[in-house]
A and B are shown apart, each in its own frame.
Chain A
Amino acid sequence: MRVLKILLCLLLLSSSCREDEYVTYMTNEDTGVPIGESGFVGLYILNEGNMGANRCTLDYLDLSGKDSTIHYYRNIYAERNPGTVKELGDVGNDIGIYGTRLWMVVNCSNKVEVCEAASAKRIGQVNIDNCRYLAFDSGFAYVSSYAGPVQVSENCPLGRVYKVDTLSLQKVDSVVVGYQPEEMAIEDGKLYVANSGGYRVPTYDNRVSVIDLETFQVISEIEVDINMHRLQADRYGQLWVSTRGNYYDVNPALYCISNDKVSARLDLTISAMTIVGDSLYYIGTSFNYLAGGYSKSFGIVDVKRCTTIATSIFEAPEIKAITLPYGIIMNPLDKSFYLLDAKNYVSSGELLHFDAEGNYLWRVTTGDIPSRGVFL
């Protein structure tokens, strides 16, 4: 009897009661570094969050000088939009600002979230199944999506690109493209879409779809290489597209397309890239089973001469210590850069800042899997 009493007491003591759940708090991290002249008010960072975890979050780096030092506000969406059921959603894939609005593609929540750029307060959402990436032009947003029509005798749908009115947030048109379209770029009145075919392993897609924005029809396809991912335009009207290979006998590469033809191929593994001026900055990771770690690569491609150039800006020990480089953001004005470390995908990531010469400046803790950013 006494034993039972003791046990009961122990159980009660150890128990704490369930409390009401509150809207997720924002956390504020002070880097202690004085605000310099960055040319921007702030930087939004979109964190993917692991699939099924509903942990896509939005962070904000305040460069406005409101505080005398640089502050990083982690997880701001829920606090700014407390009424959104289940917050921002599952797996953030892309972020962009067009006009005064902030657009976020939340892949596994099948929506594009539209907020006021200045406050991150919600304006509305566009429901697009399995949406992937954004491009903007003349008052319209273009959203690539894996979800398209299934062809006879295929067990895999073709993808689509949706045309969305950026003011009314209505889908006004859509066009069928290749399999599992990823990034897009607009050049000379045409929308170029990199198709991956990632759902069709091992028969990946190898075409870039070219859409005439006037008619919103696919006017041609450019055969490049299998399993494309990144696609960006440079200032010379060339397109740069990365491929991921098949992880067996076809290697990843970077291709240059000019005048709708492949004009160069570089033997590079690219997981993220960004073009500023004549320089294409890239990072690449490939997993090495024997070593149980990654082969990490960083570099710059001269887009004018289509060659890699020697650089020492990625030599800092802090860069070598990055667990899993996942994104690179360039400040186009001062050429300083930010690297995103996704760690093990299921814990907080990191944002590291370096100056244009590659000197380490500071770091802050981000949400899970930080992947993309956009300057405000």
Chain B
Amino acid sequence: MRIALLITLSSFELCILCMAQDSVRIIDNITIKSKIKYHETIAPQTLKGETLEKVNAHTVADALRFMSGVQLKDYGGIGGLKTVNLRSLGSQHVGIHYDGIELGNAQNGVIDLGQFSLDNIEEVSVYQGQRSAIMQTASDFTNAGSIYIRTKSQLGKETSRNNDGKANNDHFVKSKLQLGASNLFRFSTLYEQHLSEKLVMSSNLEVLSTNGKYNFNYRRRNHDGSIAYDTTATRKNGDVQAIRAEINLYGNISDGHWQTKAYTYHSNRGIPGAIVNNVWRRGERQKDDNSFVQGSWQKDINRIYTLQALAKYANYRTHYLNKDTTQLMIDNTYRQQEAYLGLVHVFEIAPWWSVSLSDDFRWNYLDANMPLFVHPTRWSILSSAATAMDLNKLQCQGSIVFSHHLDKTRTGTSRKSYDNFTPALFLSYRPYLWLQFSCFAKKSYRMPTFNDLYYTNIGNTLLKPESAIQYDLGIRFDSKAIDGFTNRNTIAEDKHGNMNGSFEAHIYHNSVHDKIVAYPKGQQFRWTMLNLGRVHIDGIDMQGHASWKILNEMILSSRLQYTYQRARDVTDQTTSYYGDQIPYTPWHSGSMTMMLDYRAWDFAYNFVYTGERYCQQENILYNHLEPWYTSDLHLAWRHSYRGILCKATVEVNNLFDQQYDVIINYPMPGRNLNVTLLCEF
């Protein structure tokens, strides 16, 4: 313990030194993790700060390509839907937390990560299993995996983290303009102001506009090698106009802090749709009006007891419109509301032992203008108990969540309730500072969504929750610990030492039971939902980071990530796809990033690889999809003038102009270029 503290202090000093050298480029996260309630038994994968800027990522979805164990589904282009799943468990098992509170979608469980621009994001972390710190809400303990998105706040961070009330600046402004292919225009600005010594206001505005057009090519060869067809067309109806505004207040109180956020997002977009024979454009539109307010408050009541309270109200309105008279005309509006209240009690019984008790209350309501709509409401109550122990080299965390969900529909006569237990156990053993072994086991579930249960003619009210069981074994080496740095950030960000690096590998087995799948009804309204599916998943995740100081001012750093997955459908032995790899899950995928920093210049090369996979359940020739891989380049130049930092970036995406579909019939953009200008002071 003492060693760890010492090391943290030394890195703290170094950071102060850095700040003195360059007042603008502050190295963040100087958290002295002495308290066990914040301890994470197993560290997440994190992308943050400058690294996040260098991986040619503009949305949270793009950034997640560089995390192992993550599969991204991308329907192409800036406006195309982008969802992720962790370790093949299905996207509805992933909890996505925005500044500490989960984003909900009770309607269909889908969160479009393409809608979350990275312009105001400081850090994206991926946790397999759960965040293994016990100071968290009951909801945080329930998902099979979680993604935490933390927004940028230069001053707010200083205020809430340093806890000393001293401000480096009294305001901070950052503006960014991006222009690129498909008539992309993206402008964002962050303005932060100290309202008082203990209160910071941070506001953020972003405007996005694109016509979404790009060229794509479909080419087939005859078996003798000659060209059968070679067609280039333009992707249409992928335009997006979006505006996002956010305002945050960060405050300090004695022995605690609080934070509030108001968020609003409005967009109007085309849904580009599938490219099929004779159909090259479609006319569906989607309008989103999503707003929420949330707040959290935390205080150390006494030396033992800490209390945290969280609350949120969200109102999401989605409007689908299809005015094409040759098809089923659609003019549907869905309105979702969510209210959330969370309480976390943490007791630090001893320096090595703490216990937490959390309660969540959530209310969801869905309204729609569809005929025969049942207007479902869901009340959820979750209670968790967790404990963490730090026995010097051995750390452990155990948690259990009891959840109760109650559904009621306006037309339905019966109420339906669901009770679930979510137990989890996390262990880590660290024989040396540079070596850590870890393991976890967890059972979790996902609730059937309102669409699964109540969608007119499709929903099935008899559905049970879908459950997932996970077992994981991991190992981690960290050369920084040898050199005397415990800061767990990506190495690229701290530029000390001649070479350092880390490597982490996990081997896991997951299984999904009662998987909710669409099943044909054999009649006009073709599908219904059934708890019919069982998947066994075996996989390996590996990632490594390393950085070298090549010359005096030249640093080369790299990240490498590889995922192997075998996800077998073991639902029914009589089907033709028994034992086959589930759709859109590659056996092999990975990514690589090389970053070179020299004085005012940054250069990065990013490579993303997704191996062969199948687009349907049967692993047959007709369903086979070729691998795809893209190379992206990033070049940035920065210049400081009278305390104003300016940065210009040029990016080339898909350098070799590979023509590929992530989802079949949804072509992805070829080579494209964008330019970004950033100023901050």
Residues of A within 8 A of B (CB): 1, 3-4, 7-8, 10-11, 14-25, 27, 52-55, 75, 82-90, 106, 108-111, 125, 127, 129-130, 146-147, 149-150, 155-157, 196, 198-199, 201-202, 227, 229, 244, 247, 271, 285-287, 289-290, 292, 294, 324-326, 342-348, 365, 367-368
Question: Which residue of A15, A54, A127, A247 is within 8 Å of B274 (Cβ)?
Answer: A54
A346 to B587, CA, bound (A): 21
Known: A82-B229, A244-B523. Is A14-B220 also a contact (CB below 8 A)? no
Question: Which residue of A24, A53, A109 is within 8 Å of B278 (Cβ)?
Answer: A109
A55 to B329, CA, bound (A): 24
Contact between chains at B616 and A347 (CB < 8 Å) = yes
A347 to B616, CA, bound (A): 7
Choose, from B77-85, B338-346, B621-629, the stretch at the interface. Answer: B621-629
A38 to B186, CA, bound (A): 67
A8 to B521, CA, bound (A): 48
Known: A17-B627, A285-B522. 9 other contacts (CB 8 A): A7-B560, A14-B588, A15-B627, A18-B626, A22-B223, A54-B276, A75-B622, A271-B522, A287-B523
Known: A22-B220, A82-B222, A86-B276. Is A347-B575 also a contact (CB below 8 A)? yes
A54 to B664, CA, bound (A): 9
Contact between chains at A84 and B277 (CB < 8 Å) = yes
**Closest CB in chain A relative to B580 CB, distance in Å:** 9
Contact between chains at A18 and B660 (CB < 8 Å) = yes
Question: Which residue of A3, A130, A229, A290 is within 8 Å of B477 (Cβ)?
Answer: A3
Contact between chains at B277 and A90 (CB < 8 Å) = yes
Q: Please indicate the chain A residues that have their CB under 8 angstroms from the CB of B612 in the complex.
A: 16
Contact between chains at B222 and A22 (CB < 8 Å) = yes
Q: Please indicate the chain B residues that have their CB under 8 angstroms from the CB of A289 in the complex.
A: 460-462, 528
A157 to B629, CA, bound (A): 44
Contact between chains at B609 and A15 (CB < 8 Å) = yes
Q: Please indicate the chain A residues that have their CB under 8 angstroms from the CB of B611 in the complex.
A: 14-16
Indicate whether B670 reaches chain A with its CB closer than 8 angstroms: no
Please name the 7 residue pairs, one residue from A and one from B, whose CB atoms are nearest each other, closest first: A89-B277, A129-B326, A147-B326, A82-B228, A90-B276, A285-B522, A54-B276
- A-contacting residues, B572-598, CB 8 Å: 575-577, 587-588, 590, 592
When C-beta atoms are compared, the residue in chain B nearest to A180 turns out to be: B328
Known: A11-B609, A87-B277, A109-B278. Is A271-B562 also a contact (CB below 8 A)? no
Question: Which residue of A20, A198, A348 is within 8 Å of B524 (Cβ)?
Answer: A198
Indicate whether B618 reaches chain A with its CB closer than 8 angstroms: yes
Contact between chains at A24 and B276 (CB < 8 Å) = no
Contact between chains at A292 and B457 (CB < 8 Å) = no
Indicate whether B279 reaches chain A with its CB closer than 8 angstroms: yes
Contact between chains at B276 and A89 (CB < 8 Å) = yes
Indicate whether B432 reaches chain A with its CB closer than 8 angstroms: no
Can you list 22 residue pairs at the A/B interface with Cβ under 8 Å? A3-B503, A8-B560, A11-B562, A15-B611, A19-B626, A21-B220, A21-B221, A54-B664, A84-B277, A90-B276, A108-B279, A125-B278, A146-B326, A147-B325, A156-B329, A201-B457, A247-B523, A287-B528, A345-B526, A346-B616, A346-B617, A347-B576
- A-contacting residues, B248-278, CB 8 Å: 273-278
A55 to B665, CA, bound (A): 11
When C-beta atoms are compared, the residue in chain B nearest to A108 turns out to be: B276
Q: Please indicate the chain B residues that have their CB under 8 angstroms from the CB of A90 in the complex.
A: 274, 276-277, 279
A85, A88, A247, most chain B CB atoms within 10 A: A85
Contact between chains at A85 and B520 (CB < 8 Å) = no
Q: Please indicate the chain B residues that have their CB under 8 angstroms from the CB of A290 in the complex.
A: 462
State the main secondary structure of chain B at its contact with A. Answer: loop
Contact between chains at B276 and A292 (CB < 8 Å) = no
**Closest CB in chain B relative to A291 CB, distance in Å:** 10
When C-beta atoms are compared, the residue in chain A nearest to B372 turns out to be: A202
Contact between chains at B278 and A18 (CB < 8 Å) = no
Indicate whether B413 reaches chain A with its CB closer than 8 angstroms: no
A149 to B329, CA, bound (A): 13
Contact between chains at B629 and A15 (CB < 8 Å) = yes
Indicate whether B499 reaches chain A with its CB closer than 8 angstroms: yes
Contact between chains at A84 and B546 (CB < 8 Å) = no
Q: Please indicate the chain B residues that have their CB under 8 angstroms from the CB of A157 in the complex.
A: 325-326, 329
Contact between chains at A14 and B229 (CB < 8 Å) = no
A206 to B276, CA, bound (A): 33
Q: Please indicate the chain A residues that have their CB under 8 angstroms from the CB of B519 in the complex.
A: 344
**Closest CB in chain B relative to A333 CB, distance in Å:** 29
Known: A18-B628, A18-B658. Is A202-B371 also a contact (CB below 8 A)? yes
Indicate whether B173 reaches chain A with its CB closer than 8 angstroms: no
Contact between chains at A14 and B564 (CB < 8 Å) = yes
Interface string of B215-243 (1 = CB under 8 A from A): 00011111100001101000000000000
Contact between chains at B277 and A20 (CB < 8 Å) = no
Q: Please indicate the chain B residues that have their CB under 8 angstroms from the CB of A82 in the complex.
A: 220, 222, 228-229
Contact between chains at B576 and A110 (CB < 8 Å) = no
Indicate whether B641 reaches chain A with its CB closer than 8 angstroms: no
Contact between chains at A23 and B532 (CB < 8 Å) = no
Contact between chains at B278 and A127 (CB < 8 Å) = yes
Known: A53-B664, A83-B228. Is A7-B544 also a contact (CB below 8 A)? yes
Contact between chains at B530 and A342 (CB < 8 Å) = no
When C-beta atoms are compared, the residue in chain B nearest to A203 turns out to be: B371
A109 to B327, CA, bound (A): 12
Q: Please indicate the chain A residues that have their CB under 8 angstroms from the CB of B522 in the complex.
A: 271, 285-287, 294, 324-326, 342
A31 to B560, CA, bound (A): 50
A306 to B319, CA, bound (A): 49
A54 to B623, CA, bound (A): 12
Contact between chains at A109 and B524 (CB < 8 Å) = no
**Closest CB in chain B relative to A275 CB, distance in Å:** 22
**Closest CB in chain B relative to A45 CB, distance in Å:** 15
When C-beta atoms are compared, the residue in chain B nearest to A128 turns out to be: B326
A129 to B279, CA, bound (A): 10
Q: Please indicate the chain B residues that have their CB under 8 angstroms from the CB of A247 in the complex.
A: 457, 523, 525
Indicate whether B331 reaches chain A with its CB closer than 8 angstroms: yes
Q: Please indicate the chain A residues that have their CB under 8 angstroms from the CB of B528 in the complex.
A: 287, 289
Contact between chains at B277 and A11 (CB < 8 Å) = no
Contact between chains at B277 and A4 (CB < 8 Å) = no
Contact between chains at A23 and B221 (CB < 8 Å) = yes
When C-beta atoms are compared, the residue in chain A nearest to B521 turns out to be: A287
Contact between chains at A84 and B229 (CB < 8 Å) = yes
A358 to B526, CA, bound (A): 29
A248 to B457, CA, bound (A): 10
Contact between chains at A22 and B221 (CB < 8 Å) = yes
**Closest CB in chain A relative to B435 CB, distance in Å:** 13
Indicate whether B467 reaches chain A with its CB closer than 8 angstroms: no
- A-contacting residues, B508-548, CB 8 Å: 519-528, 530, 532, 542, 544, 546
A201 to B458, CA, bound (A): 13
A112 to B324, CA, bound (A): 20
Contact between chains at B590 and A11 (CB < 8 Å) = yes
Contact between chains at A344 and B629 (CB < 8 Å) = no
Q: Please indicate the chain B residues that have their CB under 8 angstroms from the CB of A22 in the complex.
A: 220-223
Indicate whether B550 reaches chain A with its CB closer than 8 angstroms: no
A87 to B664, CA, bound (A): 14
Q: Please indicate the chain A residues that have their CB under 8 angstroms from the CB of B560 in the complex.
A: 4, 7-8, 11
Known: A15-B611, A54-B274, A342-B522. Is A199-B577 also a contact (CB below 8 A)? no
Indicate whether B406 reaches chain A with its CB closer than 8 angstroms: no
**Closest CB in chain A relative to B678 CB, distance in Å:** 31
A307 to B641, CA, bound (A): 93
- A-contacting residues, B429-456, CB 8 Å: 456
**Closest CB in chain B relative to A128 CB, distance in Å:** 9
Q: Please indicate the chain A residues that have their CB under 8 angstroms from the CB of B372 in the complex.
A: 201-202
Question: Which residue of B278, B520, B562, B620 is within 8 Å of A89 (Cβ)?
Answer: B278
A7 to B219, CA, bound (A): 34
Indicate whether B92 reaches chain A with its CB closer than 8 angstroms: no
Indicate whether B558 reaches chain A with its CB closer than 8 angstroms: yes
Known: A14-B562, A15-B627. Is A86-B521 also a contact (CB below 8 A)? no
A43 to B278, CA, bound (A): 26
A374 to B646, CA, bound (A): 70
A84 to B222, CA, bound (A): 12
A20 to B221, CA, bound (A): 7
Contact between chains at A292 and B279 (CB < 8 Å) = no
